[in-house]
Structure 1
Amino acid sequence: MVESPVDAFNRPVHRGDFGLRIPPSGRATKEFFAAWREALPRARKYPVAVRNYVMSKLTYISGVRAAELCQVQLGDVHWENGQWGRFLVHDKGAGGSGPRDREAFLFEEGRALLWWYVEEVRGEFPDDPCDPRAPLFPSERLARSLTGMEGLLAPPVVPDTFRRALKMASHEHLRGPVSELFPHLLRHACATHNYEAGMPLWDVQVLLGHVWASTTVGYLATAKGDPERASLESSRRAVRRLSTEA
């Protein structure tokens, strides 16, 4: 007999772990990054430590995926776009639509952070930091082997290296019930904290690069919504609008 052919068509496309991802609170996240940055000058490999820190915080600020961030080149950063600059990422696409490019947002904090890294730290890696094809976040291992060789580009850091660095940093500096971080959890934290701070769902969707709002809603499972406050604010906006029109 044929074994339930319907399941082959209706099963989810993604078959991974669908457990609830609970990001750290906004306060715990802020304290984590503050403690990590304070520890940077004591790192044995300062440029590598700064690279890992900037990648992690930029993931939290912009909501990009680890694989997307690792592939960003220096020429993909457009300081003049938008209010605070943006950078180009190669999105993985959704629903089998294939990869597509999109602009990720820096915001004011991300611009200052990335400017500091590019101006003061990126040149510590021995490849050419003026080549627009050079990775924004180069691999430390091969970059070290290229010392003294001109005109060569280091390969980008791989996502697994980024994940391990963030995991180690979270074990050392993160306090609270959430004891371990990985890049995708920072992406969830980005969505959750921005939504809790008042960013509309549509803007969170654009920030994460989602095609469907239903996907974004899945990232907000732990968001602390307040329907009563939202209703009051909506009423106040309506009163102000009517008063202005009158």
Structure 2
Amino acid sequence: MSASGASIDDFLAMLAAERGAARNTILAYRRDLELAQEQVGRLDAASSAQLGQLAQRWSALAPSTVARKLSALRQFFGFLADEGLRSDDPTSALARPAARRPLPKILSHDQIAELFAQAEEDAAGGSAAGIRMLVLLELLYGSGLRATELVSLPLSAVPRDEPFLTVTGKGGQARIVPVSRRARVALSRWLEQRDSESPWLFPSRKSHLTRVRLFQLVKALAVRAGLPPEKLSPHVLRHAFATHLLEGGADLRALQTLLGHADISTTQIYTHVDAARLVKLVNERHPLAQRGTSD
């Protein structure tokens, strides 16, 4: 193995061990770094001029792909500096992509209320399908779970008398997720209805409910509630959870913990609060607002 190849391996091992990076992230970074090495030569010895050649090669790529490649390179060279293998950062020759990550679709409080009204109506008849859908909705919007986290919840994740779930997120990182009183009531109803020896909270045949099926169930609920189905998905509900918490005054660091984000920069995508609300917040809550204006 080349010295540069060993450096890449050491960097990726550090990401996995110290930062808990997910397997897919590790694989994507490996592809990015090895491809860059093919294009510019030995990567750990590359100059700013050599890395600058990559910008032209990236010109046809999506901004999100360029951002990931740039992140991989910046972190790689940061690792080399931390290890005393480089004293400079040649990635300064690579400009950040101009386009921002697109924001997910936004749901209003009224639309959320319509969804819950429909789900509660469906569950009122006592059908297992209706109660399950209500629980799924409560945990997507009320706890901000990712689709994969939700469908793969083991039955053991639901404690008997505690208002939280233990969730295993990206990179195998476990976190505690609070569960509202409403969701606990719905969960109790579902556990009474759930007729299965499966170890999964939401069993389906030989395994658990799939992400695709969850997507379909959310779309169908939107149709029954009279909402455009193209506006609804499990991730849109997770986004609504984060957005509405921030609107209510939640701290960004607390939200990072609730969402299971390793990096707070990922959480910052949810800070698209309108300027008028921010101005109002400053005018009403800042200490100087209590002093009035000077004559």
Q: Same fold per TM (> 0.5)?
A: yes
**Aligned counterpart, 2:11:** none
Matched, 1:117 2:190: yes
Unaligned runs of 5+ residues in structure 2 are 1-38, 41-52, 59-64, 70-99
Mapped to 1, the partners of 2:166 and 2:223 lie a distance apart of 31
Matched, 1:169 2:247: no
Task: Say whether the 8 Å CA contact 2:218–2:234 is kept in structure 1.
Answer: yes
Matched, 1:11 2:60: no
| Greater length-normalized contact order (CA 8 Å, ≥ 6 residues apart) | 1
Matched, 1:213 2:264: yes
1:226 to 273, 277, 281: 277
**Aligned counterpart, 2:76:** none
Question: How far is 1:75 from its partner?
Answer: 0.9
Question: How far is 1:18 from its partner?
Answer: 4.4
Q: What letter is aligned with 1:215? A: T
Which whole-Å deviations, capped at 9, do the CAs of 1:6-30 have from their partners, x for residues lacking one?
567x82339xx94332221012101
**Aligned counterpart, 2:105:** 22
Flag the 1:168–1:103 CA change in 2: closer, same or farther, 3 A: same
1:189 to 222, 240, 247: 240
Unaligned runs of 5+ residues in structure 1 are 93-97, 143-153, 240-246
**Aligned counterpart, 1:47:** 128
**What is the SS of the residue equivalent to 1:36?**
helix
Identity of aligned residues (%): 27
Matched, 1:91 2:155: no
Flag the 1:186–1:80 CA change in 2: closer, same or farther, 3 A: same
Higher Rg of the two aligned structures: 2
Q: TM-score, normalised by structure 2?
A: 0.60
Flag the 1:23–1:227 CA change in 2: closer, same or farther, 3 A: closer
Task: Say whether the 8 Å CA contact 2:122–2:130 is kept in structure 1.
Answer: no
Q: When you count helix as a share of all residues, which structure comes out higher?
A: 2
Mapped to 2, the partners of 1:178 and 1:228 lie a distance apart of 34
- Runs of at least 4 residues off by over 6 Å: 236-239
**Which piece of structure 1 moves more, 161-170 or 70-79?**
70-79
Q: What letter is aligned with 2:183? A: G
**Aligned counterpart, 1:180:** 231
1:71 to 133, 146, 152: 152
Q: What letter is aligned with 2:67? A: P
Task: Say whether the 8 Å CA contact 1:86–1:104 is kept in structure 2.
Answer: yes
Mapped to 1, the partners of 2:164 and 2:144 lie a distance apart of 13
Flag the 1:236–1:138 CA change in 2: closer, same or farther, 3 A: farther
